[in-house]
Amino acid sequence: MLYGALEAGGTKMVCAIGDEKGNILEQAKFPTTEPSETMESITGYFKDKEIAALGVACFGPIDLDKSSKTYGYITSTPKTAWKNFDIVGCLKDALGIPIGFDTDVNGSLLGEVTFGCAKELSDALYLTIGTGIGGGVMTNGRLLHGMLHPELGHIRIGKRAYDRGESVCPFHDDCLEGLASGPSIEKRWGKKAIELAGINEVWELEADYLATALVNYCLTLSPKKIILGGGVMHQEQLFCLIRNKFKEKMAGYIVTKELEDIDNYIVPASLNDDQGILGAIKLAMDSLQGE
Amino acid sequence: MLYGALEAGGTKMVCAIGDEKGNILEQAKFPTTEPSETMESITGYFKDKEIAALGVACFGPIDLDKSSKTYGYITSTPKTAWKNFDIVGCLKDALGIPIGFDTDVNGSLLGEVTFGCAKELSDALYLTIGTGIGGGVMTNGRLLHGMLHPELGHIRIGKRAYDRGESVCPFHDDCLEGLASGPSIEKRWGKKAIELAGINEVWELEADYLATALVNYCLTLSPKKIILGGGVMHQEQLFCLIRNKFKEKMAGYIVTKELEDIDNYIVPASLNDDQGILGAIKLAMDSLQGE
């Protein structure tokens, strides 16, 4: 059986066709311009592919509450053309097949849980650190939505006294995204992250902020694995720094077999940047089960 | 049908008999001394009560992993006599009935979700602020355990520059429990919380720390309600301060109908300090369903 997958991002839309084993058979990309144009490209792509269902891992905030009148909508996004856009309804009308729908980061996590490094774990966390910071969460084998959906990038982590940078978040002066996203690194040091690769103090501070956040997520969600993706994490030296600072900050308060094996607890994304599209395939599969 | 409930605390053991409607028919308390003595009182109490099952809401850390060899044990508690004590095994041997088992704070949350102010909510959080700080979490209608169980009291919240106090946590210099528990208030101001009731700066700082933590939990777990219990929360002026600082710190980043009604979002425990025992009754009921 074939499934469609849409990774809906604020700058591009990745469309793919795959199967239940996680094979991606073909892929296409379209720029995210305004809804009528972009959706025509997307529905045109999927129309004759004989897919049984489509999964959508979507930028947000989005409405995931199936009892809500605006279920399937992109809601209060700063991308004004997409604000209050009924993306699920539009796809359902054009394609007439079941549509699975979740956040982009829940999609990435679902990809890792289904086909990647978190296979069969009931409780896991995926965090992406790039232009923004966001995360997907699974608890008791199910993706977490709750009141809305997690907004992990905006937890308050306390600005270090020696940090001369300024938060890039328009809402918060000391949230994780404001102090540790790609743009915040660039603003603080005056260069892009990639040009700062050899400068230790850049990554010491970055790892300190990220490790503080991971300790808080760990104590709150108790995941069995934490997966880190996104552009900033291409700086591979970060992993070792983050793991050491995580242990330092946890200070032995929690003892579990998972934390004893920290190299397998805090890990990079494992699916060559296909975790989102693979998660969308699983969302499509689950939509047939009425999940 | 009758159910037994045990709220197992570090200083006392509360035993009760109740029914599925949340009626508590009788209750007894025994001091927590050493296991052989205390367990004899407990099993003696329950022995002839004709209960169908017993629910235990227990101080921790405890092992909740049913596939583990030490499931049902109290694990690394500082109360040395109880370290690695098989409390579920002991009760099962003595009483020969199904035993439901969870943390004390998950018990309190379950009480509120089943019989109290969070009735029928799928996602909720209960935080107790007293001698220590701890919390129970429900997501997608199920209590959260994950790798271990949440340890909400130990998230790092950043010490305020103007705070002349010192953390009372032996592990962390800026965790919530270290800076906002009852003993930390007493150490900082040199008096018990109850004697400080009229002093604004005490509660402004306390509310600031608690609101920071609640914002972080909200962005991580996305609960539909946050319930605050424990001795410190008997200072009722705290609720208004916490709600205002919560809104200030969230800064409008998330918009939901629940947050718009903040007085019904951050609320006091509703069951006259019986939430733990009522949750234990529900744990007993669920143990018959093999939950």
Q: What is the pLDDT of residues A198-223, one digit of tens each?
A: 999 999 999 999 999 999 999 999 99
pLDDT-derived band at B290 (thresholds 50, 70, 90) equals low
CA B22, CA A112: separation in Å to the nearest integer?
42
pLDDT of residue B208: 98
Amino acid identity at B74: I
pLDDT-derived band at A267 (thresholds 50, 70, 90) equals very high
Residue B142: both structure tokens together: 């199920």
Is B260 exposed, middle or buried (CB count within 10 Å of its CB: 0-12, 13-18, 19+)?
A: exposed
pLDDT of residue B60: 85
Residues of chain A above pLDDT 70, percent: 99
pLDDT of residue B77: 81
Average pLDDT over chain A, rounded to an integer? 96
pLDDT of residue B86: 98
- Altogether, the residues listed in chain B come to a count of 291
Show which of residues 257-276 on chain B sit within 8 Å of chain A, judged by CB atoms.
258-259
Average pLDDT over residues A251-268: 95
**Is A142 close to B140, i.e. CB distance below 8 A?**
yes
pLDDT of residue A277: 98
Touching check for B64 and chain A: CB below 8 Å? no
Within a 10 A sphere around the Cβ of A41, how many other Cβ atoms? 16
pLDDT of residue B147: 96
Contact A210, A193 (CB under 8 A): no
pLDDT over 80 (residue B291): no
Average pLDDT over residues B53-74: 95
pLDDT over 60 (residue A12): yes
Q: What is the pLDDT of residues A84-109, one digit of tens each?
A: 999 999 999 999 999 999 999 999 99
Average pLDDT over residues A4-12: 95
Average pLDDT over residues A228-232: 96
Show which of residues 165-184 on chain A sit within 8 Å of chain B, judged by CB atoms.
171-172, 174
Contact A30, A12 (CB under 8 A): yes
Is B52 exposed, middle or buried (CB count within 10 Å of its CB: 0-12, 13-18, 19+)?
A: middle
Q: What is the pLDDT of residues B271-280, one digit of tens each?
A: 999 999 999 9
Residue B137: both structure tokens together: 């979490």
Distances (CA, A) of A13 to A42, A114, A125, B32, B101: 8, 22, 24, 60, 47
**Which residue in chain A is spatially nearest to B124 when comparing CA positions?**
A146
pLDDT-derived band at B176 (thresholds 50, 70, 90) equals very high
Of the candidate ranges A73-77, A219-223, B18-22, the one whose mean pLDDT is the lowest: A73-77
Residues of chain B above pLDDT 90, percent: 94
pLDDT over 80 (residue B199): yes
pLDDT over 60 (residue B116): yes
* Reported pTM: 0.96
**Is A156 close to B220, i.e. CB distance below 8 A?**
no
pLDDT of residue B98: 98
Q: Is B72 left (phi over 0), alpha (psi -120 to 50) or beta?
A: left
pLDDT-derived band at B114 (thresholds 50, 70, 90) equals very high
Average pLDDT over residues A252-273: 95
Give the closest-approach CA distance of B19 to chain A in angstroms.
28
pLDDT of residue A111: 98
Within a 10 A sphere around the Cβ of A273, how many other Cβ atoms? 12
pLDDT over 90 (residue B181): yes
Of the candidate ranges A286-290, B26-30, B51-55, B219-223, the one whose mean pLDDT is the lowest: A286-290
pLDDT of residue A136: 98
Which ipTM did the prediction report?
0.96
Average pLDDT over residues B216-226: 98
**Chain B residues touching A254 at Cβ < 8 A:** 61, 148, 151
